A = this chain, B = another copy of it.
């Protein structure tokens, strides 16, 4: 794959990234060095040891870390922007399950997933955690397609053995066996930046027995897990009915071994997580995939993200296509701020809104931490970067700071301004 090999090089230009959770840092007329797929830091003068590296002059552009999409459903890409007047459960029945079932056809899966991957490649996302469908071969196909893009991704074969339409239901045994087979095949596929992730859909569609077995597989194969948690009030109520022995929704995952110390875990949404649930998430280092666009589209609500950050929970950002209509993580950053402002104004004046630097943090370093040292240009971080021609968005202003330029790009920009893109040092665009 000539087009996605790791390169050693230097960028010369203007850089902005998160100094910490609440503050940005910027450099102008500086050198950012990438070797072996990692940042070697930003320098005013290029150190002697890097002077033989090729220099790419990106002055005039704004270079920022790549955006990390912690939760997206690849098969739902095909009907994004449809049925947005519905809430979660009827929307799953009408749009999601019938579409996902189509991926039993390998030819359809190949075409549809290629479309999805092409858009992710062209956009601002450098890494993603992806739900596929329950189909083993289509999921493997998606992994191969994602590998070709050069992006770093986790991809999960979805499991579900109850409460889904019969045409899309697995037996518990089949679900486990297919998962084992998929994990073996994924291992053999020789992929370098596309990894399997155990993916029980959510408690309502997975029996305890199935989840216990999946949790064992996660430990046995040393792979992470991802699922959904406390997204929509009707879903939360349903879980209470289904899981009589649990003290909260998250407890259903704890009892099944899915949320457990030592197993890296992403839970999408956490809109309605109470104190006990938040404790569980914190104690187990669970990553919250905050999905603001999806949460408003499906009338789920608004997660108290600022409170999560202040309490030290792990928070990343996500598009959650197709609950979120767009694959654009640029839109997601903007949406996270807007939703948190409205939550603060109308619902909970005690939890402040996310600031712009905080929203950018969760979209980069916050979610990036799930992948290791990702989301920063500090020395030793994997080199994910976007080179943005933000000044092609018209304005008379000539006095903007790099931080102001980044805010403006987030509010006005889209993939048209992306002039370069790297993931772990691989040139994607």
Contact = CB atoms under 8 A, between A and B. Distances in A.
A396 B108 contact: yes
A43 to B, nearest CB: 29
Interface stretch (A174-182, A236-244, A279-287, A344-352): A344-352
Contacts of A397: 78-79, 82
A194 interface: no
A56 interface: no
A112 B394 CA distance: 10
Contacts of A343: 342, 346
A345 B297 CA distance: 11
Interface in A309-344: 325-326, 334, 337-339, 341-344
How many chain A residues sit at the interface, stated as a range, is 35 or more
Nearest to A409: B81
Given A345-B300, A394-B115, A396-B108, A325 B411 contact: yes
A414 interface: yes
Interface in A220-271: none
Integer count of this chain's copies in the complex: 2
A195 B224 CA distance: 62
A301 interface: yes
A80 B341 contact: no
Interface of A: 78-82, 84-85, 108, 111-112, 115, 118-119, 293, 296-297, 299-302, 325-326, 334, 337-339, 341-347, 353, 355-356, 394-397, 400, 404, 407-412, 414
Given A345-B300, A346-B342, A347-B346, A79 B395 contact: yes
Given A78-B396, A396-B78, A414-B414, A84 B407 contact: yes
A112 B396 contact: yes
Nearest to A334: B325
Interface of A is mostly: helix
A411 B326 contact: yes
A82 B408 contact: yes
B81 A411 contact: yes
B299 A84 contact: no
A353 B85 CA distance: 9
A302 B404 contact: no
A407 B346 contact: no
19 contacts: A79-B397, A80-B395, A80-B408, A81-B410, A81-B411, A81-B412, A82-B408, A84-B411, A85-B355, A108-B396, A111-B396, A115-B396, A118-B394, A119-B394, A296-B341, A325-B411, A342-B342, A343-B346, A346-B346
A166 to B, nearest CB: 23
A230 B6 CA distance: 55
Nearest to A297: B338
Contacts of A337: 84-85
A301 B341 CA distance: 8
B112 A78 contact: no
Contacts of A394: 115, 118-119
Contact of A80 (B85, B355, B356, B411): B411
A394 B113 CA distance: 11
A342 B344 contact: no
B345 A82 contact: no
Residue from the set A111, A353, A394 with the largest chain B CB neighbour count within 10 Å: A394
Nearest to A404: B82
Contact of A81 (B80, B85, B408): B408
A75 B119 CA distance: 35
